[in-house]
Structure 1
């Protein structure tokens, strides 16, 4: 029987994006008893990221043919997402998965969380499970606080540990994203004594009304102290446009109205830095590909 197709996408084989995200604002408003931090943040996607290839298997085996250096399969969020979906549904199908990795580890772009979300959404389609996005997002939360926003696939104001989401429409400029060639440890940043943890909460309406010119990242000062390479890159970028850290870093970004302006600065980045230009998206490229939103 011929495979049913969704546009150019077959339900037996899928190739789908796992887009990057930016935290265009990140406030830390408190610390919980369980050690996690209360956050307020604005998530937005980029039209740049990893790509995942899936091929359905009928024997229940899940294989990842592109292991990440230093990351065991049992710790890889792609494998954990696939196995969690099997366990939750009792599904006896499997998949061969191949990852084309473009996003840096420890970069603050949500690469691992996005890979996990794409895996949940793709295998839900590949295995004909017909689970809703709310169900998949609840599974994703077991894998990481950033996974649900990638599952839901829309720019969002987030609170709690980042899992309480409200859709927003943000401006969609061109971004220059710069990675200074290091990996930042999120536990180290959140464990730092000097980290700001008492920013007064604000409403989503106020944050949007005040606009991008007022947005900041409460992690930035701490990351700059702990990682001189980030401090150096931020100082360099500030000569061209106001830069911000995304997540806990190490990636930094500036926004521009014109793509040409962003690419002009891209051409001047130093050796040892990795940078790219991408457009901001309010609807995830994953959901655009599958027609989900």
Structure 2
């Protein structure tokens, strides 16, 4: 059985406070986009994980799909070993949630294939155990996310009449670097209120807290955002902790001038 995990973008991101457990509380808007991986799971003689497409860093045993299998196996001992194959297309280290999406879709796939009878709430709770934003991908619909990014309030946000373009510079942003310059603070106005404003006002109202530090350290990312506005974007922002930057346009723009040094995904 095969499913196609999708990426997400963050529209706004406020780091509101540091938690006693070392995580940070935040608020953001998660919006699904159509850049996708392909995930296949079949019963096998032993648990295995293989991949194609983009190279996946780290040890296989640390992959969230493998961790997800062991998590489910504890509660469902009858589960057979499985062969997992992931074709990786969602850029890694881009603030797009690709690894989290793969983990969430793995839970959904296991539920379907082995008839575990898990509800959406059950799958969401399992996903929360694997990572802060994994739970979003169980339903993959626009939400206002808060706490660690794993508590949600559904919002009415439809950007289908616009063209979303994603630009991925050849830059890696570590978690330590992203949070190194953050000073948590409650925003004057909540994103839940600001996202209801006309999209033409977002440029003035909605920000990503990570941009201040990352733009100082990586002028090329700052330059991509500026280029998207110069090309006519209504709104542009870095997604998550970067390094990807997206622009929302009324019509598909010509960004060929960015393609020499960046990967560009149109109409996502």
Same fold (TM over 0.5): yes
1:253 aligns with 2:246: yes
1:119 aligns with 2:106: yes
Q: How does 1:279-290 map to 2 (within 5 A)?
A: 279=268
Structure-1 residue corresponding to 2:120: 133
Q: How does 1:9-48 map to 2 (within 5 A)?
A: 14-48=1-35
Aligned alpha-carbon RMSD (Å): 1.9
Q: How does 1:1-293 map to 2 (within 5 A)?
A: 14-57=1-44, 59=45, 61-66=46-51, 68-172=55-159, 173-190=162-179, 192=180, 194-200=181-187, 202-203=189-190, 205-212=192-199, 213=202, 214-240=205-231, 241=233, 242-258=235-251, 261-262=252-253, 264-265=254-255, 267-279=256-268
Three-state SS of the structure 2 residue aligned to 1:268 is helix
Shift, 1:92, TM fit: 2.7
Three-state SS of the structure 1 residue aligned to 2:102 is helix
The Cα offsets for residues 180-239 of structure 1, whole Å up to 9 and x where unpaired, read as 01111123211x1x3241132644652233244222111111111222332232233231
Asked if structure 2 preserves the Cα contact closer than 8 Å seen for 1:46 and 1:278, the reply is no
Asked if structure 2 preserves the Cα contact closer than 8 Å seen for 1:65 and 1:99, the reply is yes
Q: Aligned partners of 1:271, 1:215: CA distance in 2, in Å?
A: 29
Q: Aligned partners of 1:105, 1:203: CA distance in 2, in Å?
A: 29
Runs of 5+ in structure 2 lacking a partner?
Answer: none
Q: Aligned partners of 2:176, 2:75: CA distance in 1, in Å?
A: 29
Three-state SS of the structure 2 residue aligned to 1:147 is coil
More moved, 235-244 vs 151-160: 235-244
Shift, 1:63, TM fit: 1.3
Q: Aligned partners of 2:94, 2:31: CA distance in 1, in Å?
A: 15
Q: Aligned partners of 2:249, 2:81: CA distance in 1, in Å?
A: 43
Q: 1:201 to 1:143 in 2, by over 3 A?
A: farther
Asked if structure 1 preserves the Cα contact closer than 8 Å seen for 2:28 and 2:149, the reply is yes
Three-state SS of the structure 2 residue aligned to 1:22 is strand
TM-score (normalizing by structure 1): 0.82
Three-state SS of the structure 2 residue aligned to 1:96 is strand
Three-state SS of the structure 2 residue aligned to 1:162 is coil
The Cα offsets for residues 2-24 of structure 1, whole Å up to 9 and x where unpaired, read as xxxxxxxxxxxx11111010001
TM-score (normalizing by structure 2): 0.89
